[in-house]
Chains A and B, each alone.
Chain A
Amino acid sequence: MELASETVGEVTIVVVPGDQLDASNAKDFKRDVAPLLETCRHAVLDLSALRFVDSSGLGAILSCSRLLHAKGGDLKLCAMTRPVRALFELVRMHKIFDIHPTREEALRAFYR
């Protein structure tokens, strides 16, 4: 899966492509995002394109967060659409993740 990313200081911003992250592509995403997270300390996942996430997609996002936490880094999410937000709330993951309306706010949150 093609992943667009950009790095601002210690933070890598990854745009999750496509409008769905479900069991059909969650594995690919996990595999392809891992090298990007290897090289940075912190990351922001830009979810603005996503209209649908299922439990497998959620698992993939959780794995990103665990990967960064393991080396002392952090993950923030931004630009979550309403249906995706609904899923996060359903399984109470909105309390686990640091979620911001925009990329800039997510970035700023690292330097607060």
Chain B
Amino acid sequence: MGSKASRKTRNGSAARGVAQTASSGGGRRRFEPKSELQRQLAELRRAEEALARRTAELEDARNFLDSVLENLPVMLFVKDARDLRFVRWNRAEEEALGIDRSVAIGRSDYDFFPEEQARFFEAKDRAVLTGGQLVDIPEEAIQTAHRGLRFLHTIKVPVLGADGAPKYLVGISEDITERKRAQEELARAREQEAEIGFRIQQTLLLDQPPGDVPGVRVAALTIPSQRIDGDFYDFFNHNDVCLDVIVGDVMGKGIPAALLGAATKSHFLQALSRLLSLSPPGTLPEPKDIVTLAHSEMVRRLIELESFVTLCYVRCDLVNRRLDMVDCGHTNTIHFRASTGECQLLRGENLPLGVSEREIHEQLSMALEPGDVLLLYSDGLTETRNAGGELFGIERLAECVRLHGHRDPKELIEAIRLSAVAYSQSETFADDLTCVAVRMEEREVPLLRRELEISSALEELARARAFVRELCSGLPAPRLDERTVEQLELAVTEAASNIMRHAYHGRPDRRILLGADVFSDRLVLRLHHLGQSFDPSAVRPPAFDGSQEGGFGMYIITQTVDQVRYHRDQRGRNCITMVKKR
């Protein structure tokens, strides 16, 4: 507006100048000076016209710039470098923040944003102005008048004056709230899928290895990857005579693979129970028949789903010390022979499940001796890569088994895990890492075996103690001293009371089976129940300062016996097994 007004004034004064010249005209004598004046006036007029044209041009340019800035789809503001007050505020800015330019111009951030946000903006502004360089702010929160909290991506640029000092600060922002929300949504969905997959894996795909089968020790390891692989394993204990182990790997990843793994397990359980019901008493169906039946039930579905499953079904005959194995395209099973200290790779010729509808499965058999170890695993283990991209490989794994095969399966598996971690230099893996170790043991026959069933009423605790006392008094030599008997009474009371109060939630009409096996060097007490299982790792250590009245039970058990395990027994019941050395 100011420039327009001044232009009018100049035009006006120019016109008056012309009128003056006209009125004073007439005398010839003064022609020369007059013409000189006229020349000057004409020059002046030309200059004024040029100025007017230039001004008009500038105004056009300014209008053009105004219209561009005004209609930019991104938010744009300009602040005065001295006091950081807004001097420009475009329409996108008005719309996005709900603040009209009439409000914004001449004011600063402190006038309409919460103080914390305003301070953040000011700090960034000062950084831009003192640094004299563009600053990119990938994300800043801003409280808008009408749309709540929004997130902006902002670029701030200093504009320097002729003297090189910052004169203005230009800010250009883009509202990234929706994009940010979409990204968060996506991340949440991914996380949720991983969580569901993990739950499926923990509940459906992976079982606790059986801990109470005489003549064999089993340990399993699973390290889930970011995306579940569908690795699974399962164990069937046939009355402590044979232990079947299945380890499988479903093609693909994520929830579909996990569900397919769970379905495969259930087909095997069904096939086993169907064949068991058809078998003469005292005999077991052959692994190859179980695999063929389970496969025939699921092969069509697998083909339709364009998926397949590699699997190894292993039966350890604990009495006849024999291994039967059906390998369906799975990773080579490693057989550590205690007698030679060497490893052998076992491999069958069957196709993976879901490849051929008419597959008849073949099985391999060989002798298993005490101390022999079988290692079953998924390819996630052997395909672990080091920094150079090389595979961990089966040779390295077999070497690990050869070195640690004489140790307890739990320690062997931990050695394998450490080796894989050291190789990949990472605690997390691209694929699920699954591995099961089975070690044949000398089979021991207990010297004495006793059982007692009690109800879950707290009054039965005294009977549980009496059972222990009676067992101890009838032991073949050496006898236990009184203190040891008292400790066992205490341990069995705490374990049974935990089951009654927590596993059965105080219901008095449930059953608890007490079992005791006496060996030459130890006494094994078991409490089987069908209540809720409990996780000993979730129990906090007790307070010893008298500040708490409860929480001592588990601690007392660990202090009174040499070993305690919380696990599933072969019939699916929860079991607390306590071992006391003699």
Contacts and interface: CB of A to CB of B under 8 A. Distances in A.
Using C-beta atoms within 8 Å of the partner chain, give the interface range for chain B. 20 to 34
Interface in A80-109: 83, 86-87, 90-93, 95-97
Contact of B494 (A20, A55, A60, A83): A55
A58 interface: yes
A96 B458 CA distance: 28
A50 B486 CA distance: 13
A96 B494 contact: no
A20 B490 CA distance: 11
B304 interface: no
If over half of A's interface residues share one DSSP class (helix, strand or loop), that class is named, otherwise mixed; here it is: helix
A48 interface: no
Using C-beta atoms within 8 Å of the partner chain, give the interface range for chain A. 20 to 34
Nearest to B485: A83
A5 interface: no
Given A22-B493, A23-B493, A62 B458 contact: no
A60 B552 CA distance: 12
B544 A92 contact: yes
B553 interface: yes
A23 B552 contact: no
Contacts of B560: 90
Interface in A32-85: 52, 54-56, 58-60, 62-63, 65-66, 83
A54 B496 CA distance: 11
Contacts of B545: 96
Given A23-B500, A59-B550, A91 B544 contact: yes
A55 B483 CA distance: 17
Interface string B510-525: 0000000000000000
A14 to B, nearest CB: 17
B461 A24 contact: yes
A60 B483 CA distance: 24
B542 A59 contact: no
A20 B559 CA distance: 20
Contacts, number: 72
Q: Which of B490, B501, B544, B560 has the most CB of A within 10 A?
A: B490
Contacts of B489: 52
B536 interface: no
Given A54-B490, A59-B549, A90-B560, A23 B462 contact: no
A90 B556 CA distance: 7
Contacts of A59: 549-550, 552
B546 A65 contact: yes
A83 B482 CA distance: 9
Given A22-B497, A83-B486, A62 B549 contact: yes
A24 B462 contact: yes
Interface string B103-126: 000000000000000000000000
A70 to B, nearest CB: 13
Nearest to B501: A23
A55 B498 CA distance: 10
Nearest to B555: A91
B501 to A, nearest CB: 7
Contact of A54 (B459, B493, B544, B549): B493
A63 B552 contact: no
Given A22-B497, A23-B497, A52 B549 contact: no
A58 B552 contact: yes
A68 to B, nearest CB: 12
A96 B461 CA distance: 27
B553 A55 contact: yes
B578 to A, nearest CB: 15
A90 B550 contact: no
B549 A93 contact: no
B91 interface: no
Given A22-B497, A23-B501, A54-B494, A91 B556 contact: yes
B486 A23 contact: no
A53 B281 CA distance: 48
A23 B546 contact: no
Q: Which of B462, B493, B544 has the most CB of A within 10 A?
A: B493
B465 interface: yes
A56 B549 CA distance: 8
A96 B552 contact: no
Contacts of B490: 52, 54, 87, 90
Nearest to A27: B458
Interface in B426-476: 458-459, 461-462, 465
Given A54-B490, A54-B494, A91 B465 contact: no
A58 B543 CA distance: 13
A33 B48 CA distance: 111
Contacts of B461: 22-24, 54
Contact of B458 (A23, A58, A95): A23
Contacts of A22: 458, 461-462, 493, 497
A54 B556 CA distance: 9
Nearest to A55: B552
A62 B551 CA distance: 12
A22 B546 CA distance: 18
A96 B548 CA distance: 12
Interface string B239-262: 000000000000000000000000
Q: Which of A87, A93, A96 has the most CB of B within 10 A?
A: A87
Interface string B529-570: 000000000000010111011101101100110000000000
A87 B556 CA distance: 8
Contacts of A96: 544-546
Contact of B559 (A23, A58, A90, A95): A90
Contacts of B544: 91-93, 95-96
A34 to B, nearest CB: 13
15 contacts: A20-B462, A22-B493, A24-B459, A55-B494, A55-B550, A56-B550, A62-B546, A62-B549, A65-B546, A66-B549, A87-B490, A90-B560, A91-B552, A93-B546, A96-B544
Given A55-B556, A92-B544, A93-B544, 7 more contacts: A24-B462, A55-B552, A58-B552, A83-B486, A90-B559, A96-B546, A97-B546
The 6 closest A-B pairs by CB, nearest first: A59-B549, A55-B552, A24-B458, A96-B546, A23-B497, A92-B544
